[in-house]
């Protein structure tokens, strides 16, 4: 275990996570086009998905009006056919409001509706990490990677999990490198993290 740097690494993670918020919302716009999944053994009337209301809810999310977004998203979920997108955004809104248990429930529902949703599992992993459920977080990130191998975010998040919380430096450096290779551009911050990891690994090796 490394004493001292946890606060620095945690700040590093929060800074990167916030910078990706806009990108995540743009990605989620595509989720509203996913096919609804019927509930076995239950016949419910299908209402046409309200695209206008959904886009308005996403706009509230972009404005960080999370309480208002929750009201809109829950109305869409109640009145329209089941789709993963509204549950994903509901989970994000609740996460930003600090209501992690409700957020987790929303993401779990999204994974049930669309078991191949890489976004749902990546977001679920973030919530598990915040809840201190590190094994579950790692499993969720791996599920995200398995569902969409070209999706870069779970590699970065898994690297952070291994780096800061699991103290698995080999896992961290492997996933940081994969993240950089998938983004197709030079990420100076992640590059510095990799350099730091190599330094720590070398120091640990010499200390034996």
Q: Is 42 within the bounds of a domain?
A: no
pLDDT of 9: 47
Q: Give ∠ CA 201-204-208 in degrees, rounded to 5.
A: 140
The total domain count for the chain is 1
Distance CA(161)–CA(50), nearest Å, equals 37
Which residues of the chain register pLDDT less than 50? Answer: 1-11, 13-23, 25-27, 29-40, 42-43
Domain with 114 in it? 6-31+49-207
pLDDT of 34: 44
Q: Is 64 within the bounds of a domain?
A: yes
Q: How many other C-beta atoms can be found within 10 angstroms of the C-beta atom of residue 133? A: 15
Q: Is 112 within the bounds of a domain?
A: yes
Q: Is 38 within the bounds of a domain?
A: no
- Residues 6 or more apart whose CB falls under 8 angstroms from that of 112 comprise none
Instruction: Report the CATH number at residue 86.
Output: 1.25.40.10
Give the pLDDT confidence of 2-48 residue by residue, as tens digits: 444 444 444 454 444 444 444 454 445 444 444 444 444 544 555 78
Q: How many CA atoms lie within 13 A of 195 on its CB side?
A: 6
């Amino acid at each position: 275990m490394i004493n001292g740097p946890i606060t620095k690494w945690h700040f590093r993670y929060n800074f990167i996570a916030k910078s990706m918020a806009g990108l995540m919302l743009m990605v989620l716009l595509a989720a509203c086009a996913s096919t609804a999944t019927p509930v076995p053994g239950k016949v419910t009337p299908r209402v046409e998905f309200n695209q206008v209301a959904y886009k308005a809810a996403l706009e509230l999310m972009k404005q960080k009006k999370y309480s208002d977004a929750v009201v809109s998203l829950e109305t869409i979920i109640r009145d329209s056919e089941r789709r993963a997108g509204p549950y994903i955004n509901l989970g994000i809104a609740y996460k930003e409001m600090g209501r992690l248990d409700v957020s987790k429930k929303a993401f779990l529902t999204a994974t049930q509706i669309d078991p191949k949703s890489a976004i749902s599992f990546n977001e679920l992993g973030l919530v598990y990490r915040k809840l201190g459920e590190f094994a579950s977080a790692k499993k969720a990130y791996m599920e995200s990677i398995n569902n969409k191998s070209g999706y870069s975010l779970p590699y970065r998040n898994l690297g952070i999990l291994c780096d800061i919380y699991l103290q698995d430096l080999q896992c961290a450096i492997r996933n940081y490198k994969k993240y950089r290779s998938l983004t197709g551009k030079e990420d100076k911050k992640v590059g510095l993290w990799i350099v730091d990891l190599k330094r720590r690994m070398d120091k640990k090796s010499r200390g034996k």
